[in-house]
Chain A
Amino acid sequence: AQSVTQLDSQVPVFEEAPVELRCNYSSSVSVYLFWYVQYPNQGLQLLLKYLSGSTLVKGINGFEAEFNKSQTSFHLRKPSVHISDTAEYFCAVKGNTGFQKLVFGTGTRLLVSP
């Protein structure tokens, strides 16, 4: 079984500052990793995903994440945030063998202020 830990429930940051949202996972098998964003009163939208290959993954809206197998981490970063990035961000993991379900972390609320 897989599990995901997002240690920061809320991250406040000023506009145009860099941000990192942390995600650590646990799994006995190799995994696929995802970051989703949820805006108020909306469903989830995929930001980026790691399947294999390059450990640095670039996504939409200027976000990127780095897969670190030794640290079992998949932290999300953006060099300069905008007010519109204020949302809830979810890290998710899925084992890559058999019919595995997508397991989500508890989410990190990113609050961008002017």
Chain B
Amino acid sequence: KAGVTQTPRYLIKTRGQQVTLSCSPISGHRSVSWYQQTPGQGLQFLFEYFSETQRNKGNFPGRFSGRQFSNSRSEMNVSTLELGDSALYLCASSSTIGTGGYEQYFGPGTRLTVT
């Protein structure tokens, strides 16, 4: 079974631009979560989607948004990029959501550099 895939793997953008990152979950998984990883802040939860609905959201500004499609693939968008948005963006998928110690399977991440 193929793992979680994220595209692109590396991205360089300029301040003020916008960016869209893509995540394809493991086949059959309906939940997708996004995380931002930086040396200073560590791993921060962005949002979680299940069946095309956002079920949980972290403490990020409105410039960060996401969506999930009917095939469970997900995209996240960051508008008006700032230098501080440079990070590794990780996507994780799972088969369930809500209560329960369900396992999340992580993709390799997209390394975003903002110059």
Contact = CB atoms under 8 A, between A and B. Distances in A.
Interface of A: 32, 34, 36, 41-46, 49-51, 90, 94, 96-107
Interface residues of B, number: 24
Contacts of A99: 48, 55-56, 97-99
Contacts, number: 57
A99 B92 CA distance: 16
Contact of B108 (A34, A41, A51): A41
A100 B58 CA distance: 11
11 contacts: A32-B100, A41-B108, A43-B92, A90-B43, A97-B99, A98-B99, A99-B55, A101-B33, A101-B48, A102-B33, A104-B42
Contacts of B105: 46
Nearest to A43: B106
A102 B33 CA distance: 10
B58 to A, nearest CB: 7
A46 B90 CA distance: 14
B42 A101 contact: no
B91 to A, nearest CB: 8
B21 to A, nearest CB: 14
A49 B104 CA distance: 11
A96 B101 contact: yes
Contacts of A103: 45
Contacts of A49: 101, 103
A60 B71 CA distance: 31
Query: What are the nearest 5 A-B pairs in CB distance?
Result: A43-B106, A32-B101, A104-B43, A51-B101, A44-B106
Contacts of A41: 108
Nearest to B106: A43
Nearest to B98: A99
A19 to B, nearest CB: 21
